Structure 1
Amino acid sequence: MKTFGWSFGITAAALVVAFFYGGVEALILCAILGVLEVSLSFDNAVVNARILEKMSAFWQTIFLTVGILIAVVGMRVAFPLLIVGVTANLNPIQAVQLALEKGSIDDPGSYAYLLHDAHPQIAAFGGVFLLMLFLDFMFEERELHWLTWLEKPLAVIGRLHGASMAIALVILVASAAMVRPGKEVDVLIAGILGMVTYLLVNGLGDLFHVEADEEEELAAAAAKKNNKGVGKAVGKAAFMLFLYLEVIDASFSFDGVIGAFAITSDPIIIALGLGLIGAIFVRSLTVFLVREGTLDDYEYLDHGAHWAIGALAIILLLTISFEVSEIITGLIGVVFIGASFLSSIVRNKRAAAAARENQLVG
């Protein structure tokens, strides 16, 4: 309750607001959207936690305060308005007015219709970004593997310089070839921008790496002096991690934002369900994973999360041309995370049994 108390409290408040805003129907829709966002975001929380644990307490707080504002206001409210405004050539006030009209997704010119019409570009950008994230993780040489029969061959492919970019570009071109006529160029441009964004964020991290070395050494020395263990990233290093974290978090939001309009076109309900309930619970889950050291205790979770990211990336790219149920999108992450968690438990039990056996032999 210490970690999730705020989430339960904000969820209750959001449901009450939804009820007074639109009655029982609005309350139910708000709850459904909250569950949708949480089910889509297990992998997001795992990836966030792995990055967040490298950051100092100050920057962790920044992520949980400023970051939540970006997630709720930026991605769940402002981002759809921006897309609709650009698509329909509307100013911000007109976009808000159009959103509040609550037009149907099947009604040409409505807020939901315009956002749905922009889905191919959004899916291409988010899909390619997440695909690059997945490929770079799988192509990295590491001692620990979960799905060994897949991960070891992928690590071999990763020795080829630029393999992740080459594969992502081929998949992007294939996705653009299947899109409805007139959208091919838009999809290609959006996908390339997603790749550029990923490379730019990673590149900036490398650029500041040398300058951050001295800061990290000082932080590590201070941590050692105060018996606090390994130092955390501070200064520019932490700032770049924060930016990387926000871009990843935003990419994970695309499927939820678009999927929400299949349930309701009301921006208020979407903001309450996706933004308040969903985003707050994802933050709480991230904090829980960091505080409990769950990722170190269950080492396959990283792998499960990245396989879920890869699956989500492919699903996003498929939705450029095909309808994919939100149930599939939501469950696939849960399945990968659950399977990797169970595999981690089995691995831990075997390691404990081996340790006991060695003690007996010794």
Structure 2
Amino acid sequence: MLVKTFRWAFVVTALGLAAGVLYDGWTALGLVAILAVLEISLSFDNAVINAGILKKMNAFWQKIFLTVGIVIAVFGMRLVFPVMIVAISARLSPWNAVHLALTDKNRYQELVTDAHPSIAAFGGMFLLMIFLDFLFEDRDIKWLGWVERPLARLGRVDMLSVCIALVVLLASATTFGAHAHQHGGTHADKTETVLLAGVAGLVTYLVVGGLSGFFEQRIEDEEEREQEAEEQAERAGGSRSPVKLAGRAAFFMFLYLEVLDASFSFDGVIGAFAITNDIVLMALGLGIGAMYVRSLTVYLVRQGTLDDYVYLEHGAHYAIGALSVILLVTIQHEINEIVTGLVGVVLIAWSFWSSVRRNRALQSAS
């Protein structure tokens, strides 16, 4: 099962490392490997969140996630995205941006650094909305009950997460945005830029999340009509299988997954510039890492890991909340990528250990 799920990740690793050696010698191999590890460490929480969504989708859309989705993730976010942000921020054509990235790597890195406030604001607000909606939802299983119970009651207030997100955005724009970090250690007033990018991230979440929720509700109505037939089959000795999202519902959930993956990619792409400013090596290393994250997502779904370790999803969402705050802080202050990666790893490891303790307690009680 493990080899079957990760076989393409292993193939991409071998091809990526070989391409790195052919492109710039053995030093490039080390850089590609480091970038791949960086991407995996920063995106492990992404895999857990993706698995929670992907398990609702049928086998066809799970396959689309691993094929079309990985093309979008690798070529879209890890190669095209760094070029496009330079093209937009520097008002260059995409071709000129690529030319700049290949011929004047230092200038290219400077332009990416100057564009970071808008990237961080967009990604930070999108991820913050995911965290807040999770936090204010009344769930049957609670991990940190002393925090989650009162917040679930507060969640009954309509649009509370949006209001809080807008307050956070306003505070971030007038504090961090007013002294945004730029290349060379200088600072500039990017208040308006941060506000616009943050609102764009918020609107993107509301539109994509709203559409996916709408179609998910439509398919839940169909599930109710099939519920009785499934129960009858179960009583007759047959197996009962849950209805998986398909059609338009699955399409919008897939779209939501891609936007979510894009938001998670921001810190990896920006962090990669601390290691190299060569976009070819960045695409190879981050692409390898993205393939492992995709494979890990499918592995978690097929193994039923989220059902066995019920607090994992909680830990991943808390890691999302931490990452959103870190992204907003990095508008003004530089934060080492090791810190960013460790925060997510620690929270997920803590939630995993809590799940193990819970399972042991339930076994002892039975």
Q: Residue 5 of structure 1: CA displacement? A: 2.2
Equivalent position SS for 2:4 = coil
Q: Residue 185 of structure 1 aligns with which residue?
A: 192
CA change 1:191–1:255 in 2 (3 A) is same
User: In structure 2, what is the equivalent of residue 124 of structure 1?
Assistant: 121
Letter in 1 for 2:309: Y
- TM-score normalized by the length of structure 1: 0.92
Which residue identity lines up with residue 93 of structure 2 in the other structure?
N
Quote how far apart the aligned CAs of 1:229 are: 0.8
Distance 1:68 1:28 in 2: 23
* Structure 1 counterpart of 2:309, from 295, 298, 304: 298
Specify which of 105, 108, 112 is matched with residue 115 of structure 1. Answer: 112
Measured against aligned partners, the alpha-carbon deviations of 1:199-250 in whole angstroms (never above 9, x if no partner) come to 1112212433454456556887898868461110111111111111111111
Which aligned pairs between 1:1-362 and structure 2 lie closer than 5 A? 1-104=3-106, 110-178=107-175, 179=177, 180=179, 181-209=188-216, 211-213=218-220, 216=223, 227=239, 229-275=241-287, 277-355=288-366
Return closer, same or farther for 1:193/1:222 CA change in 2, 3 Å cut-off. Answer: farther
- Cα separation, partners in 2 of 1:74 and 1:221, compared to 1, 3 Å: farther
Specify whether residues 251 and 196 from structure 1 end up closer, same or farther in structure 2 by C-alpha distance, changes over 3 A only.
same
Alignment correspondent of 1:358: none
Letter in 1 for 2:310: E
Q: Is the 8 A contact 2:216 2:245 kept in 1?
A: no
Aligned partners of 2:116, 2:58: CA distance in 1, in Å?
A: 37
Question: What count of residue pairs does the alignment treat as equivalent?
Answer: 349
Residue 293 of structure 1 and its aligned partner are, at CA, apart by 0.2
Q: What is aligned with 2:182?
A: none
Distance 2:313 2:218 in 1: 28
* Structure 1: runs of 5+ lacking an equivalent: 105-109, 356-362
Cα deviation per residue 1:6-56 (whole Å; 9 max; x = unaligned)?
A: 212211221111112111221111111100000011110001001000001
Q: Given the superposition, is the C-alpha separation of residues 29 and 211 from structure 1 closer, same or farther in structure 2, using an over 3 Å criterion?
A: same
- CA deviation string 1:99-139 (max 9, x = no partner): 112522xxxxx111111110000000000000000010010
Shift of 1:186: 0.4
Sort the Cα spacing of 1:182 and 1:145 in 2 relative to 1 into closer, same or farther, 3 A: same
Distance 1:246 1:285 in 2: 16
Counterpart CA distance in 2 for 1:45 and 1:11 is 18
Q: Which moves more between the two structures, 90-99 or 184-193?
A: 90-99
SS of structure 2 residue aligned to 1:41? helix
Per-residue CA deviation, residues 31-83 of structure 1 (Å, 9 max, x unaligned), is 11100000011110001001000001111111110000110111111111111
Q: Distance in 2 between matches of 1:23 and 1:152?
A: 55
Counterparts of 1:67 and 1:227, CA distance in 2 = 31
Counterpart residue identity of residue 91, structure 1: S
Instruction: Specify the SS of the correspondent of 1:4.
Output: helix
- CA RMSD in angstroms, aligned pairs only: 1.8
Contact in 2 for aligned 1:308/1:336 (Cα 8 Å): yes
- 1:167 & 1:342 partners in 2: Cα distance? 31
In the other structure, the counterpart of 2:184 is none
Q: 8 Å contact 1:82–1:92 — kept in the other structure?
A: yes
TM-score, L = length of structure 2: 0.91
CA contact (8 A) 2:66 2:294 kept: yes
CA 353–102 in structure 1, closer or farther in 2 if over 3 Å, else same: farther
CA contact (8 A) 2:129 2:165 kept: yes
1:176, distance to aligned residue in structure 2 (A): 0.9
Q: Residue 47 of structure 1 contacts residue 302 of structure 1 at CA under 8 Å; is this kept in 2?
A: yes
Percent of aligned pairs with the same amino acid: 59
Deviation at 1:165, TM superposition (A): 1.1
